[in-house]
């Protein structure tokens, strides 16, 4: 790869934020080098490239780092003109995509809260997840009436990428938690959208392997509950 167009992606395999950037690079056909980060022992490069949040993903293009997944997705779309456009040209539609992409980031944080809590705290977190899914369902009806159209790797947009990487592993989450999140009857548009995206080879290649992700989620949950027990004991 020529040095004048060198792309490096710093990520961590369980991170849905990293998966979004990985998927966008695949969709755009961008060749890149990958650096797997150990988030328990962050590299000096990661701390240098993202000194504010110290998190993945970080995209480094020609030596210049870009942090935060949604910012990176827009940078990719604006920098590499070839391949599918990730954002619509119409300003209003672009604004709506940005809004719902940010909303979905909050949805993942709500799901993470379910994973790391128990009892009443978990019930509250589950309620928040379900409320957000209902809001997303209504948003799809109002702003994206064609969201049920066939999807393929040639027409994936930014919101498709965010949905697939935020909600695409829902079955692993449901197995670990024993809680059903995405339901065909309650949220048919969301269910159909996620199912269609999950069937795409490019998405299957991007999301983490099912069994590996289940083991990771169990580990995170066990550690979180253990830590919570220790913090509340006298």
pLDDT (tens digit, 0 to 9) for every residue of the chain, 234 residues total?
445 689 999 999 999 999 999 999 999 999 999 999 999 999 999 999 999 999 999 999 999 999 999 999 999 999 999 889 999 999 999 999 999 999 999 999 999 999 999 999 999 999 999 999 999 999 888 876 655 556 777 789 999 999 999 999 999 999 999 999 999 999 999 999 999 999 999 999 999 999 999 999 999 999 999 987 655 443
CB-based contacts of 113: which residues, under 8 Å, 6+ apart?
121, 122, 125, 128
Query: What pLDDT score does 155 carry?
Result: 83
* Tokens (6 digits) for 145: 């009436």
What are the E-state strand segments in 38-159?
58-61, 64-67
Cβ-contact 150, 160 below 8 angstroms: no
Residue 234's pLDDT is what? 38
Which pair of tokens denotes residue 55? 């998190």
The phi, psi pair for 67, rounded to 5°, reads -110, 165
**What local confidence, expressed as pLDDT, does residue 231 receive?**
57
Predicted local confidence at residue 140, as pLDDT: 85
Return all residues near 127 (Cβ < 8 A) that are at least 6 apart. none
Number of H helices, E strands in the chain: 10, 4
Question: Quick one: 184 exposed, middle or buried, by C-beta within 10 A (0-12, 13-18, 19+)?
Answer: exposed
List the one residue out of 65, 63, 60, 76 whose CA is nearest residue 20: 76
Q: Is the pTM of this model over 0.85?
A: yes
The separation between CA 60 and the C-alpha centre of its own chain, rounded to angstroms, equals 19
Question: Do the Cβ atoms of 114 and 129 come closer than 8 Å?
Answer: yes
Q: Report the C-alpha gap between 77 and 63 in whole angstroms.
A: 18
Structure tokens at 61: 């293009």
Q: What token pair was written down for 189?
A: 């548009």
Q: What is the pLDDT of residue 1?
A: 43
């Amino acid at each position: 790869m020529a040095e004048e167009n060198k792309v490096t992606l710093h990520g961590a395999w369980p991170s849905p934020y990293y998966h979004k950037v990985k998927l966008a690079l695949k969709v755009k056909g961008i060749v890149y080098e990958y650096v797997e980060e150990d988030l328990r022992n962050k590299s000096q490069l990661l701390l240098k490239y993202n000194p504010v949040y110290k998190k993945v993903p970080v995209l480094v293009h020609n030596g210049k780092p870009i942090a935060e997944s949604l910012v990176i997705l827009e940078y990719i779309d604006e920098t590499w003109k070839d391949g599918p456009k990730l954002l619509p040209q119409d300003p209003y539609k672009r604004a709506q995509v940005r809004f719902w992409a940010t909303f979905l980031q909050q949805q993942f944080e709500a799901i993470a809260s379910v994973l790391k809590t128990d009892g009443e705290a978990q019930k509250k977190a589950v309620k928040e997840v379900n409320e957000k899914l209902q809001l997303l369902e209504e948003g799809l009806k109002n702003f994206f009436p064609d969201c049920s159209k066939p999807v393929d790797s040639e027409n994936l947009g930014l919101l498709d990428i965010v949905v697939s990487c935020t909600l695409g592993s829902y079955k692993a989450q449901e197995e670990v938690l024993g809680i059903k999140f995405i339901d065909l009857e309650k949220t048919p548009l969301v269910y159909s959208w996620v199912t269609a995206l999950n069937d795409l080879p490019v998405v299957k290649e991007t999301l983490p392997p099912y069994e590996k992700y289940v083991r990771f989620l169990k580990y995170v949950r066990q550690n979180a509950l253990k830590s919570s027990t220790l913090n509340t004991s006298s």
